[in-house]
């Protein structure tokens, strides 16, 4: 079996791959995550996943590289989808969750599998519907969970997801940061598993 490398620091991606029974090591990709001007918001995660995978593949050409990137997209009728990234501080996190409150947003994860110099890229999109959140709920979540490493300032599997999410359409694990079922199917199809 080939060496599989997860090109990610995300503890959630690590946990999901472990739960799927996939053996792997971790290499942190050191890449500039600046969005290419003119790129559609929905294309950003796949583009960043590809960039991360390429950097690690150059260092480990005989391994299978798995990289992913997740963004939260909030629809804006005038401007199209807006990317809500990781908050810079508590104020930014509060502002993001206030904007998501009572609305639907999409979580898009791009995944890139690099094997033998070839890149296989796909994306998964999930619609998430938040109930109306109160400011004390938002503040409690930010104080207790400190979601500063999470796109959109939240994690579905944490308290805010339990009390605040009304419904989702799509893959729950995609919202956690890795559409592991779809990834598993791709790895099987490519003969890696």
The active-site residue out of 30, 62, 69, 81 is 69
More confident residue, 54 or 2: 54
C-alpha distances in angstroms, 129 versus 19, 22, 116, 170, 187? 26, 31, 40, 11, 30
Q: Which two tokens stand for residue 7?
A: 């090109």
Confidence of residue 144 (pLDDT cuts 50, 70, 90): very high
Mean pLDDT (whole number) for 134-154: 96
Q: Where are the domains of the chain?
A: 4-189
CB atoms within 10 A of CB 132: 10
Residue with tokens 């796949």: 46
Helices (H), 43-153: 44-59, 90-100, 135-145
169, pLDDT greater than 80: yes
C-alpha distances in angstroms, 9 versus 5, 23, 169? 11, 16, 27
Q: Identify the CATH number of the domain defined by range 4-189.
A: 3.90.950.10
Within 8 A by CB and 6+ apart from 39, the residues are 47
CA dihedral 73, 74, 80, 85 (to 10 degrees): -50
User: Which of 33, 35, 24, 51 has the alpha carbon at shortest distance from 149?
Assistant: 33
CB atoms within 10 A of CB 190: 14
Mean pLDDT (whole number) for 59-71: 96
Q: What pLDDT digit, counting tens, does each position of 73-127 carry?
A: 998 655 568 899 899 999 999 999 999 999 999 999 999 999 999 999 999 999 9
Q: Is 69 a catalytic residue?
A: yes
DSSP letter assigned to residue 103:
S
Model pLDDT, residue 75: 85
Q: What pLDDT digit, counting tens, does each position of 17-60 carry?
A: 999 999 999 999 988 888 777 888 899 999 999 999 999 999 99
């Amino acid at each position: 079996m080939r060496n599989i490398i997860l090109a990610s620091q995300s503890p959630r991606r690590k946990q999901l791959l472990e739960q799927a029974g996939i053996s792997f090591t971790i290499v942190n990709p050191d890449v500039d995550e600046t969005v290419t001007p003119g790129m559609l918001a929905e294309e950003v995660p796949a583009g960043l996943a590809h960039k991360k995978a390429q950097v690690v593949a150059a260092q480990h050409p005989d391994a299978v590289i798995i990289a992913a990137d997740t963004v939260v997209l909030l629809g804006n009728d005038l401007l199209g989808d807006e990317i809500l990234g990781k908050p810079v501080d508590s104020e930014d996190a509060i502002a993001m969750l206030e904007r998501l409150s009572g609305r639907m947003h999409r979580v898009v994860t791009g995944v890139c599998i690099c094997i033998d110099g070839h890149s296989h890229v796909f994306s998964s999109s999930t619609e998430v519907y938040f109930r109306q959140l109160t400011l004390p709920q938002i503040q409690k979540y930010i104080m207790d969970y400190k979601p500063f490493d999470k796109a959109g300032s939240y994690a579905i599997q944490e308290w805010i997801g339990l009390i605040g999410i009304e419904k989702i359409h799509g893959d729950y694990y995609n919202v956690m940061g890795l559409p592991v079922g779809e990834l598993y199917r791709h790895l099987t199809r490519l003969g890696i598993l």
